[in-house]
Chain A
């Protein structure tokens, strides 16, 4: 097909009320700033132009946009978005609060932990009684008795399981797709590991209060919210970091000396803001750690909220990246550090690079990174404006960019379920989360602070590829009962006794007719396989095609591994 860059660029631009002539201006110079929030075309003639060009835009362009900005199209979605207009659709996605998502909320209703505060979770899902464990270990208590006394659904592991289920349900069914993509992106950027100590009780609130509200907001807000959150304070040990010679005044460690812990300070600069080559030194790490002393957690196992403890704080003067933070700043020292870091050009570049890698290519085009970084600096890290800079760029529409990204396991599982019209309930969400783990991405369980990688090499390997195929087979064969994929709908009205017709329908539904000639021909050859055509015993020809198996092959095909 002709990859008509100008068409899609025009489509996006109209939605931003920028003159279409600016398309031609976009070279090395930073992209013009679209007006945030502008939704409607400014004139009737522009709308007419957009509509007519939109009609010219093929399924491939729409498929590309949906593949990158959502968890993949559901049946019929490419046509629907084309009819609506990509520009209109994009503006809606950038304002998720205006999109009705009550069906998804209803599916999540039974996952009570999602709405509970950390304090409530700490009380409702207490740590296992060590005495019970000892009795189990010594044989004094049977497993069954243990299960009765302490049922699975009352154990803390339930919190993570519900969170995993919710993430899957949202990815598959939410209408606010771009928001869900960005929540996943930022959670991974500010990763915490659910299985480290008390983080398990904090991580629900962390996503709900520190990530989700700012996923399409301003980047510095994310840094501030995560820096204050008990999940991050615990995960990167800052809650324990104190001025030298601080003596713990109370509790089980009363009288013990505590001191500086560099873990959060280092990762804040290396992974959250400046990037590892962002120009900081070991001395800066130590100074930042000093600034954050006293940022800790109030009663971690009973209350679990942020508190600044002046007694732990190092009151001396600090120098961070050459900027002096005067003595006596108290809690403000940390805020000052966040300000210095989030205004630093290295941060603009680092965040731009990660966004471009997510939405465009494993090898981020330098010119686009420059422009997105410029957008960051100009707008104070406004995320929707950075995203527009990406989506309106030539690079986003490059021929070599089409299907160049490999879906990570979570994206693959969600997109496969969406492609088959699946609607998981909470139980179904848990089953899909387990599938994501089998393919290599257990949700909320990335142990290192780097989170999961975003390049093909990380996810393409033989074991994972087999796991993807096995998931496809399981999904079509009803192994995930609570996911309710709708195969008959994909081939409704087709003559299923003719395998070639079935194949055509599946390629249209799952790959929006964008299968490569190789894949099409390989699958066509397999139509002769009696196990696929279910040839009848009396040899009167195929009676009924194995729709499920063909669907699994399409989902396991090379094209469907890419987005």
Chain B
């Protein structure tokens, strides 16, 4: 267990703010229905090393496989080490900002999670995780788009939004998902009103065509965003987002949620997890990425405050990394990894999923953390229990053979 000192160091203010939770979850549960539930999917592109993100310090196989990049086991009072969660797992020290959320049971971990497909190609594995159909590349749409489609149609242009320059695979499909680099720039700028009107009418027809459909939805969204004035909503409760694309994305997703524009599913991604060389341990490359990652999630949760009862953040990555470090103090492409579930009615403060072990005979293909939870089991549970989405057609060809994780109350 972390000491009081590590907690304070991790974010004293957060501790105070959340000391009363999870009572607010129940208190605001009724109001939540009127405002609608939101699912925020976060993709760690490049395959995060789940073993150092949520370190299995209770498994002797961890440290032995990584002579120069293993985290040191947690030790009470030493805040520069991994932070123990339950006597077996520990957070990377960079994830200390998430500790208050773990403590108040709004953050859960699902470990040894991943795809039944054995590919170690980033491209294929991301495709499979985003389409939700491992091994099948021809699936036309993404699973997050399918989730949005099953929700009661509200014809809100902002029901499905990705922050970023391109629309991710997971939101492609006929739900009219929007992508934007920034809320501020989401408008026709630099011309007078006649230019906007002109562009709008050019794209007014032929909604069945990709370009026209996108155009029409775009202008609906522009008008709505103008009236909602979302970009003026500053971070609340002293939330401090880290600088950089991921912090910006999470800050703006929070703005859209607070502006009540009808957001149901949102997507953000973060790059830079492909740590083949010089991964580092408590410090270094991975630590640096995890710090931004953890800070952004913590700031998001803090920014939304009580509203987090309606919002669930689900993190994912295409696969994990080799248990053993490679020849360059890094790790190569592996299999199972760890995913986080934050907010909503999640029963947090627990690590879910069966731990397969890191003994040589327990490893997948003799080198990687095995997958004991199919990512579709996790995603189904989040879609069904958090959003109330019908899940029959969510993952074509998939019938979970494992019992529900029991993530939600």
Contact = CB atoms under 8 A, between A and B. Distances in A.
Contacts of B68: 256
Contacts of B166: 440, 453, 458-459, 461, 464
A270 interface: yes
A261 B276 contact: yes
Interface in A269-294: 270-271, 276, 282, 285
Given A450-B123, A531-B194, 15 more contacts: A259-B326, A261-B326, A448-B45, A448-B46, A453-B166, A457-B210, A460-B211, A465-B211, A467-B181, A518-B206, A522-B204, A552-B195, A553-B198, A553-B199, A558-B212
B23 interface: no
Contact of A522 (B178, B189, B201): B201
Contact of B326 (A260, A285, A562): A260
A178 to B, nearest CB: 26
B186 interface: yes
Given A259-B326, A529-B197, A461 B178 contact: yes
Interface string B192-217: 11110111011111100111101101
Given A463-B179, A467-B185, A261 B195 contact: no
A16 interface: no
Contacts of B195: 469, 473, 549, 552-553
Interface string B156-175: 00000010011100001000
B303 interface: no
Contact of B181 (A244, A463, A519, A526): A463
Given A237-B276, A456-B210, A558-B203, A276 B121 contact: yes
Contacts of A441: 165
A258 B187 contact: no
B121 A259 contact: no
Interface in B72-130: 119-124
A266 B192 CA distance: 52
B327 interface: yes
Nearest to B271: A447
B59 interface: no
A526 B197 contact: yes
A462 interface: yes
Interface of A: 237, 240-242, 244, 246, 256-263, 266, 270-271, 276, 282, 285, 406, 438-441, 447-450, 453, 456-467, 469-470, 473-474, 477, 479, 518-519, 522-523, 525-526, 529, 531-532, 549, 552-553, 556-558, 561-562
Given A258-B327, A406-B211, A458-B166, A522 B194 contact: no
Contact of A552 (B178, B191, B210): B191
B292 interface: no
A552 B191 CA distance: 10
11 contacts: A258-B328, A259-B327, A406-B210, A449-B122, A458-B167, A462-B186, A463-B179, A465-B214, A465-B218, A549-B194, A556-B202
B50 interface: no
Nearest to A442: B165
B13 interface: no
A440 B168 CA distance: 12
B124 A276 contact: yes
Given A262-B333, A276-B124, A531 B178 contact: no
Nearest to A241: B327
A462 B121 contact: no
B198 A257 contact: no
A556 B167 CA distance: 20
B277 A462 contact: no
A561 B120 contact: no
Contacts of B189: 470, 473
Given A466-B218, A529-B198, A244 B204 contact: no
A163 to B, nearest CB: 20
B367 to A, nearest CB: 9
A463 B221 CA distance: 10
Contact of B221 (A246, A460, A462): A462
Contacts of A259: 326-328
B343 interface: no
Nearest to A456: B210
A464 B188 contact: no
A549 B196 CA distance: 10
Given A270-B121, A438-B181, A450-B123, A240 B214 contact: no
Contacts of A522: 198, 201-202, 204
Contacts of A447: 271-272
B330 interface: yes
Contacts of A458: 166-167
Closest 10 CB pairs of A and B: A259-B327, A440-B165, A531-B194, A463-B180, A462-B218, A461-B167, A461-B179, A473-B190, A240-B328, A473-B191
A265 to B, nearest CB: 10
A558 B180 contact: no
Interface residues of B, number: 61
Given A276-B123, A461-B167, A523-B198, A466 B222 contact: yes
Nearest to A193: B271
Contacts of A473: 188-191, 195
Contacts of B222: 466
Contacts of A561: 211
A126 B47 CA distance: 32
B332 interface: yes
A266 B333 contact: yes
Contact of A464 (B46, B165, B193, B194): B165
Contacts of B197: 526, 529
Contact of A553 (B121, B172, B202, B330): B202
A282 B365 contact: yes
Given A240-B277, A457-B210, A531 B124 contact: no
Nearest to B188: A469
A511 to B, nearest CB: 12
A198 to B, nearest CB: 12
Contacts of A467: 181, 185
Contact of B330 (A261, A271, A439, A556): A261
Interface in B326-374: 326-330, 332-333, 365
A453 B203 CA distance: 24
B211 A237 contact: no
Contact of A462 (B120, B124, B179, B327): B179
A78 B198 CA distance: 27
Contacts of B330: 237, 261
Given A237-B277, A529-B197, A242 B327 contact: yes
A246 B165 contact: no
A477 B211 CA distance: 25
Contacts of B162: 461
A261 B166 CA distance: 31
Contacts of B214: 460-462, 465
A464 B35 CA distance: 29
B332 A556 contact: no
Contacts of B180: 462-463
Nearest to B367: A282
Contacts of A457: 167, 172, 210
B277 A261 contact: yes
Nearest to B189: A470
B333 A270 contact: no
Contacts of A439: 165
Nearest to B183: A463
B365 A464 contact: no
Contacts of A556: 198-199, 202
Nearest to A439: B165
Interface string B231-261: 0000000000000000000000000000000
